[in-house]
Amino acid sequence: MALAPMPDDQGALLSVEGLSKAFHGVAALSDVSLQLRAGEILALVGENGAGKSTLIKILTGVYAKDRGRILLDGAEVVPASPKEAFALGIGVIHQEFHLVPEMSAAENIFLGRQPHKSGPLGRLGAIDKARVLARSQQVLDELGGDFSAGTPVKNLGVGQQQLVEIAKALAFDARIVIMDEPTATLSSTDVAKLLDVMRRMKARGIGVVFITHRLEEIFSVADRVVVLRDGRNAGAGNAADLTVEQTIALMVGRHLDKLYPKEPAVIGDVVLSVERLSRGRLLRDLTFQLRRGEILGFAGLVGAKRTELMRALFGADGDVSGRILIDGKEVSMTGPEDAVRHGIGLVPEDRKLQGLILNMSIEANVSLPSLSRLTRWLAIVDRGRERALAADFVDRLRIKAQRVDQQVHFLSGGNQQKVVLAKWLALKPKILILDEPTRGVDVGAKAEIHALISRFAALGMGVIMVSSELPEILGMCDRVLVMSKGAITGEFTRDEATQEKIMACAISVVPVARSAA
Amino acid sequence: MSDHAIAGEPSLLSRVAAARELPTVVAIAVLALVIAIGNPSFLSLYNMQLLGKEVGVLGMMAIGEMVVIITGGIDLSAGAVVALTSVLAAMGLQAGIPVGLVVLGIVFVCVLIGLAHSFFINTVGLAPFIITLGTMSILRGVVLVLTTGYPVKITDPGFLLLGQGNLLGVPLQFILLIVVAVIAGVALTATPFGRYVYTIGNNPVATRLSGVRVSRVTTFAYVQASVLFGLGGLVYAARLGQGMPGIGNGLELSLIAAAVIGGTSITGGAGTVWGTAIGAVLISLIMNALNMLRVSYFWQDFVMGLVIVLAVMFDALNRKRRVAR
């Protein structure tokens, strides 16, 4: 692929050279370099886990780098805290706002940095309110804001609140503004306005780093694109010279290997049928089926509402409309207990908060969903059977623990996730829902968990797997559904699916034709 | 700690040394020795029976409170429920209703109180301490309206036995505690329900997502607490021979103290029947000591408050240490 040459260091406002960072021996960033010029919008793209956040956190002083250099106007800087980075002129706009709703826009902009009045009152801590208001209004006006700086933030719309966030950086002469997925929570009109604001910042000579998953935004506003993949530079170029397809290929271009030991499975009857499932504005009219022995993947970007769908299938949230049929019979899901009774298990997204009782034993965690089936006379728990069950799964899933009465708190992430798997497998479910089953799990345990999933599907279980890692979806699934903003926007068989096709559907907002009903 | 219920079989000695109850047992022994030296009549049968009565009723109610605390909740209505039920029982008996029916009626009223608590906590979403503080005030008000502040006499000899009778020298209410403790102990350590009580206190979200009907378990916790408080009210009424409108003032704090002194975590997830029972022994002993050593009655609230603050402080320090580990 023809890539535009990197601009030389001359004139670079910010220059990152060979930046590396590892966490517990796992490389999050390896030798990443990029340049940002004044008055330039640089799009930083990559899949989840590609290293974007790590890079941003190093630039803003949250993490310390392991190796490499950060140059500001050609001079090396080492921001040791967000405050230091801010003082160097590096501002960050996060996806979620950090505003005090009761205070005015101006007060928020100057929060914690209020200028004091001159004279004796100022020395006693009196704040120069007139200056706060005037400077805030000036910055907001420059950004194209159409509201008074004295307006309480709670009375502002989402887009206006974001403007206040940006003004927080610009009021203190930030020269570099990093925008971390600023459009993820905005409506399309607010997005258009924000892109305008970015153009204004560019015109003022500010260097903007723009992180987004929506590629169409990049091509409408960015000057250059830097792609990260697996913590490394995967490519870069002028936005004008790149196509969406080329960018996607740079983002996902990995080969699959033994990390995905998918066994061929006999695909059986339909075990789960979902018809026109909706939940408010979150889930919109979802229809699909799952067969015995099948691993059905759900791909999509963060915010595609896949977790919400899984929770709806498990009865975890109310107000769901549509029909859910198990083995052809309609079931009502008033709570997770119904799902469990109908043979559905859920390995949730956040194992520590939702999947495990951390300060209880492996044994108690494994037996929790099936405890009422492990009783003898008078509802007394049969400790022998409980322990045997846990010991059996510790053995079969190769959970590395000293004893079954060890608290799960002390296990590694991979072994904790195996305990969550075990607690559902112990119930012999018909349907197993896995929400990001290998998030935060090291590579070795990841391959083991994949092998387990594959083996249990081969035994006739229907498996639904949500993953934000495309290679995992492609490597493990018999069929892939792609979601975007609460709707299904694509469907591919194992043979049809490619990363490019999935990404195209994941960033699309229009449901595309589906290959099979 | 919650893993008591599900731990393996370490040696008896290490279990004794590691037990959270150990300091309490030591405190009880030391205190008993001090009182016995200060006032030899401490060891008299009469005083022992008096102590047994107090431990019996306090322990029984503290177990009810403990179950609620383990689920991560709290019930501050204990004293008011005691006053209400003691008064209702006295009025019922005066009206000539048979003892059995009176007891059943009291249990029924207490079940309703527990259900109301559960409704406001699980369905409406109020914080447990707010709603039970509210019922505490409401029930106290009901008691005053019913009695206009005057005690109601009880003369039924069968009923009075509950508070004044002994079996082979052991006060009946102490036997009641043993029965309650055995049932609660088995329910908490050996049944799925008991396990859920602990898992809910540790992580209600993960428990719910494991298919457990969390609200059903917490409902039962509040109902059993109210019922045990109600039984406590009956015992007090029988002991005093009257329904006392002002009885049980500050009782909830003694119950919470007994539970926390006995190793129950104030934030939920951990606690044992045995621990709470010896917590109740310590609390009763402190009260008894103040009487035996002729400390002014007016100091009793002061001392009780101090004990509670210390107990919760040790619980907090324990938790910090566990987190730091």
Closest Cα in chain B to A337:
B211
Q: What is the mean pLDDT of residues B56-77?
A: 96
Strand partners, A483: A488
Q: Please give, rounded to a whole number of angstroms, the shortest distance from the CA of B194 to a CA of chain A.
A: 10
CB contact under 8 A, A316 and B209: yes
Q: How many helices (H) and strands (E) does chain B have?
A: 14, 4
- Domains of chain A from N-terminus onward: 14-89+175-181+190-253 (3.40.50.300), 97-174 (no CATH), 257-343+431-517 (3.40.50.300), 356-428 (no CATH)
* Tokens found for residue A242: 């790149």
Is it the case that residue A234 has pLDDT exceeding 60? yes
Residues of A in contact with B7 (CB under 8 A): 361, 405
With H, G, I as helix, E, B as strand and everything else as coil, classify residue A495: coil
Best mutation target among B1, B2, B6, B214 (most A Cβ atoms within 10 Å) is B6
A263 CB-contact burial (10 Å; exposed 0-12 / middle 13-18 / buried 19+): exposed
The pLDDT of residue B320: 67
Q: Hey, is the C-beta of B192 within 8 angstroms of any chain A C-beta?
A: yes
Is it the case that residue B112 has pLDDT exceeding 90? yes
The pLDDT of residue B4: 41
Q: What is the mean pLDDT of residues B303-319?
A: 79
Q: What is the mean pLDDT of residues A431-441?
A: 86
Closest Cα in chain A to B322:
A359
CA–CA dist A293, A282 (Å, integer): 29
Is it the case that residue A98 has pLDDT exceeding 60? yes
User: DSSP label at A290?
Assistant: E
In this prediction the pTM is: 0.72
Strand partners, A22: A27
Q: Hey, is the C-beta of B10 within 8 angstroms of any chain A C-beta?
A: no
Q: Could you tell me which residue, B182 or B325, shows the higher pLDDT?
A: B182
Least CB–CB distance from A371: residue in B1, B195, B206 = B195
Q: What is the mean pLDDT of residues B204-223?
A: 95
Residue carrying the six token digits 């037990």: B19
Task: Please check whether residue B90 is in contact with residue B154, taking contact to mean a CB–CB distance below 8 angstroms.
Answer: yes
Strand partners, A275: A323
Is it the case that residue A272 has pLDDT exceeding 90? yes
Closest Cα in chain A to B2:
A360
Q: How do residues A297-318 score in pLDDT, each as one tens digit?
A: 999 877 788 999 999 999 998 7
The answer for residues whose C-beta is within 8 angstroms of residue B208's C-beta and 6 or more apart is A316, A335, A336, B214
Closest CA to B235 of B296, B172, B314: B172
Least CB–CB distance from B6: residue in A348, A364, A372 = A364
Residues of A in contact with B205 (CB under 8 A): 353-354
Q: Please give, rounded to a whole number of angstroms, the shortest distance from the CA of B192 to a CA of chain A.
A: 6
CA–CA dist B245, B85 (Å, integer): 10
The pLDDT of residue A10: 55
Least CB–CB distance from B7: residue in A341, A356, A405 = A405
Q: Please give, rounded to a whole number of angstroms, the shortest distance from the CA of A302 to a CA of chain B.
A: 22
Best mutation target among A356, A360, A407, A427 (most B Cβ atoms within 10 Å) is A360
Task: Please check whether residue A88 is in contact with residue A77, taking contact to mean a CB–CB distance below 8 angstroms.
Answer: yes
Q: Which pLDDT band, with edges at 50, 70 and 90, does B312 fall under?
A: confident
The answer for residues whose C-beta is within 8 angstroms of residue A434's C-beta and 6 or more apart is A347, A453, A463, A464, A465, A466
Residue carrying the six token digits 């099979």: A516
The pLDDT of residue A36: 93
**Of all residues in chain A, what percent carry a pLDDT higher than 90?**
34
Q: What is the mean pLDDT of residues B151-171?
A: 86
Angle between helices B78-94 and B45-70 (to 10 degrees): 120
Q: In degrees rounded to 5, what are phi and psi of residue A427?
A: -90, -5
Closest CA to B90 of B159, B162, B173: B159
CB contact under 8 A, A337 and B211: yes
Q: Hey, is the C-beta of B265 within 8 angstroms of any chain A C-beta?
A: no
Closest CA to B132 of B69, B88, B89: B69
Q: How many helices (H) and strands (E) does chain A have?
A: 17, 20
Q: Please give, rounded to a whole number of angstroms, the shortest distance from the CA of A438 to a CA of chain B.
A: 18
**Of all residues in chain A, what percent carry a pLDDT higher than 70?**
92
The pLDDT of residue A2: 39
Residues of A in contact with B193 (CB under 8 A): 379
Q: What is the mean pLDDT of residues A489-517?
A: 75
CA–CA dist B29, A117 (Å, integer): 66
Name the amino acid, one letter, at A441.
V
Task: Please check whether residue B161 is in contact with residue B172, taking contact to mean a CB–CB distance below 8 angstroms.
Answer: yes
Residue carrying the six token digits 């699959």: A256
Residues of B in contact with A371 (CB under 8 A): 192, 195-196
Least CB–CB distance from A348: residue in B1, B199, B209 = B209
Strand partners, A91: A177
CA–CA dist A193, A201 (Å, integer): 13
Checking phi first, is residue A70 left (phi over 0); if not, alpha (psi -120 to 50) or beta? Answer: beta
Closest Cα in chain A to B213:
A337
Query: Average pLDDT of chain B?
Result: 88
**Highest mean pLDDT (candidates A179-193, B57-71, B250-264):** B57-71
Q: Hey, is the C-beta of B202 within 8 angstroms of any chain A C-beta?
A: yes
Q: Looking at A239-243, A416-420, B77-81, B215-219, which range is the least confident one? A: A239-243
Residues of A in contact with B323 (CB under 8 A): none
CB contact under 8 A, A403 and B8: yes
Least CB–CB distance from A346: residue in B186, B192, B209 = B209
Ordered by start, the domain boundaries in chain B are 47-293+300-316
Q: What is the mean pLDDT of residues A123-144?
A: 84
CB contact under 8 A, A381 and B190: yes
With H, G, I as helix, E, B as strand and everything else as coil, classify residue A367: helix
Q: Looking at A4-13, A467-476, B176-185, which range is the least confident one? A: A4-13
Q: Hey, is the C-beta of B122 within 8 angstroms of any chain A C-beta?
A: no
Strand partners, A42: A209, A224
CA–CA dist A62, A82 (Å, integer): 6
Query: Average pLDDT of chain A?
Result: 85
Q: What is the mean pLDDT of residues A286-290?
A: 93
CA–CA dist B54, B57 (Å, integer): 6
Q: Please give, rounded to a whole number of angstroms, the shortest distance from the CA of A5 to a CA of chain B.
A: 51
Q: Considering the domain delimited by B47-293+300-316, tell me its CATH architecture.
A: Orthogonal Bundle (1.10)
CB contact under 8 A, B3 and A407: yes
Is it the case that residue A445 has pLDDT exceeding 90? no
Torsion of CA B201, A311, A328, A263, to 10 degrees: -100
User: DSSP label at A371?
Assistant: G
Q: Please give, rounded to a whole number of angstroms, the shortest distance from the CA of B200 to a CA of chain A.
A: 9
Q: How do residues B182-191 score in pLDDT, each as one tens digit?
A: 999 999 999 9
Is it the case that residue A432 has pLDDT exceeding 90? yes
Least CB–CB distance from A360: residue in B6, B8, B212 = B6
Residues of B in contact with A344 (CB under 8 A): none
For chains A and B, CB pairs below 8 A equal: 86
* Tokens found for residue B182: 């055995």
Q: Hey, is the C-beta of B199 within 8 angstroms of any chain A C-beta?
A: yes
Residues of A in contact with B206 (CB under 8 A): 353-357
Q: What is the mean pLDDT of residues A126-145?
A: 86
The pLDDT of residue A39: 92
- Gyration radius from chain A CA atoms: 26
Task: Please check whether residue A471 is in contact with residue A259, taking contact to mean a CB–CB distance below 8 angstroms.
Answer: yes
* Tokens found for residue A307: 């977790």
Closest CA to A255 of A294, A237, A229, A227: A229
Is it the case that residue B325 has pLDDT exceeding 60? no
The pLDDT of residue A257: 45
The pLDDT of residue A502: 87
The pLDDT of residue A1: 40
Name the amino acid, one letter, at A107.
E
The pLDDT of residue A505: 86
CB contact under 8 A, B191 and A379: yes
Is it the case that residue A7 has pLDDT exceeding 50? no
The pLDDT of residue B6: 40
Closest Cα in chain B to A357:
B203
Is it the case that residue A49 has pLDDT exceeding 70? no
Closest Cα in chain B to A344:
B211
